[in-house]
């Protein structure tokens, strides 16, 4: 079952936190997502990829462009717009300048990291199943009421997750309520604080467990980066297993 709001487009937001920007760009690089590059005043669209991300020096390097007329325009110092799509999200940012560089003897263009980018979740976030063999933990803790629950993840996306809790917890979990003092543990990370909102819950009589859909409420950039890394790890594992099943 999907979250109620994940199938609907969300309004675009302006991302300005440096860590969140770096995390999104890193995801584009790791997934080898093609970039659509449009120069101001020109109708030709070019394609490239992120080849290096250097937060220390505040730079981003992209590959040579296809068609190569884009290399000429970038070399002339023309400003351009970058569009990319990752798991249903549209990312857009602008670059005022690009400089030719050599990375491991391969030509590329280096630009300053964007101070902001537009993020538009146009469809539901990618939902990754979590195998029982993967050690996870979610603790639901209410800030005002003495209610606390603990369980494990069934699946997770960039915007929320589904958890399995022992017993029938329907009375204690009300859709729309926030458990502000909750904590989440992913593999190779300590428990971290997160604000969780109840989206839906369902009691599974056969296993005497309650499945609860949760939305991450305004997680910080560092927390979002940990979640994104785990989702992408699960996605890569799912793709690897799918390839192995072909042989």
The hierarchical CATH code for the domain 13-121 is 2.30.110.10
- Domain spans of the chain, in order of start: 13-121, 128-240
The hierarchical CATH code for the domain 128-240 is 2.40.10.220
Name residues of the chain where pLDDT drops below 50.
Answer: 1-7, 246-247
Between CA 84 and CA 65 the distance in angstroms is 15
Q: What pTM did the predictor assign?
A: 0.52
- 52-72 confidence digits (pLDDT tens): 999 999 999 999 998 999 999
Predicted local confidence at residue 3, as pLDDT: 34
Predicted local confidence at residue 118, as pLDDT: 93
Please name the residues in contact with 126: beta carbons below 8 A apart, sequence gap of 6 or more. 87, 88, 157, 158, 231, 235
- Within 10 angstroms of residue 43's Cβ, the number of other Cβ atoms is 6
Q: In percent, how much of the chain has pLDDT > 70? A: 90
Residue pair 125/157 in contact by the 8 Å Cβ criterion: yes
Please name the residues in contact with 133: beta carbons below 8 A apart, sequence gap of 6 or more. none
Could you tell me the two tokens for 132? 């029982």
């Amino acid at each position: 079952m999907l979250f109620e709001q994940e199938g609907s487009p969300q309004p675009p937001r302006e991302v300005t936190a440096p860590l969140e920007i770096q995390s999104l760009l890193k995801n584009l690089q790791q997934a080898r997502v093609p970039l659509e590059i449009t120069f101001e005043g020109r109708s030709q669209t070019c394609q490239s990829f992120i080849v290096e991300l250097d937060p220390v020096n505040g730079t981003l390097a992209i590959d040579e462009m296809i068609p190569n007329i884009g290399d000429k325009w970038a070399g002339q110092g023309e400003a351009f717009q970058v569009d990319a799509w990752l798991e249903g999200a549209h990312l857009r940012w602008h670059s005022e300048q690009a400089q030719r560089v050599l990375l491991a003897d391969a030509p590329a263009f280096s630009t300053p990291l964007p101070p902001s980018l537009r993020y538009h979740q146009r469809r539901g976030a990618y939902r990754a199943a979590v195998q029982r063999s993967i050690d996870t933990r979610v603790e639901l803790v209410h800030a005002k009421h003495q209610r606390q629950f603990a369980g494990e993840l069934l699946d997770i996306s960039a915007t929320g997750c589904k958890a399995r809790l022992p017993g029938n917890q329907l009375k204690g979990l009300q859709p729309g309520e926030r458990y502000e003092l909750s904590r989440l543990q992913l593999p190779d990370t300590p428990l971290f604080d997160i604000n969780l909102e109840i989206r839906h819950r369902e009691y599974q009589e056969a296993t005497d467990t309650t499945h609860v859909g949760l939305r991450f409420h305004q997680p910080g950039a560092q927390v979002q980066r940990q979640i994104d890394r785990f989702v992408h790890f699960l996605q890569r594992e799912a793709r690897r297993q799918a390839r192995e099943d072909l042989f």
